Amino acid sequence: MVTYSRHMDTPTLTTQITARVTEAMERTGQTKNGLAKAIGTPRTTFNRKLDGHAQFTLVELFAISKLTKTPIGDFLPDPDLTRTG
């Protein structure tokens, strides 16, 4: 699990979520292309989301959760360690 110290620059919400999605993908051996296809998102859109240029929808996070067997809550960051932006 990705952890952050309160004394470090805290990443944005999008950055934290994408890091956790990437971690779940790697842990379960999913590829970007395979996961994008499985959740019904175009590959280029999925890549933009993983790169932090767009946000995952809740529906997408639920699908990724199911496919990676990761509790949905694991994708959500600690609100005390999140900055907006």
Kindly report the CATH number assigned to the domain that includes residue 47.
1.10.260.40
Q: If you average pLDDT over residues 71-81, what whole number do you get? A: 83
Tokens of 69: 């067997």
> Domain count of the chain?
1
Q: Report the amino acid identity of residue 41.
A: T
pLDDT at 11: 63
In a domain, 26, yes or no: yes
In a domain, 22, yes or no: yes
**DSSP state letter for 80:** G
pLDDT at 2: 44
Report the predicted TM-score, pTM, of the whole model to 2 decimal places: 0.78
Using CA atoms, how far apart are residues 17 and 21, in angstroms rounded to an integer?
6
Using CA atoms, how far apart are residues 75 and 71, in angstroms rounded to an integer?
8
6 pLDDT higher than 50: no
In a domain, 83, yes or no: no
- pLDDT band, residue 7 (cuts 50/70/90): very low
Mean pLDDT, the chain, rounded, equals: 85
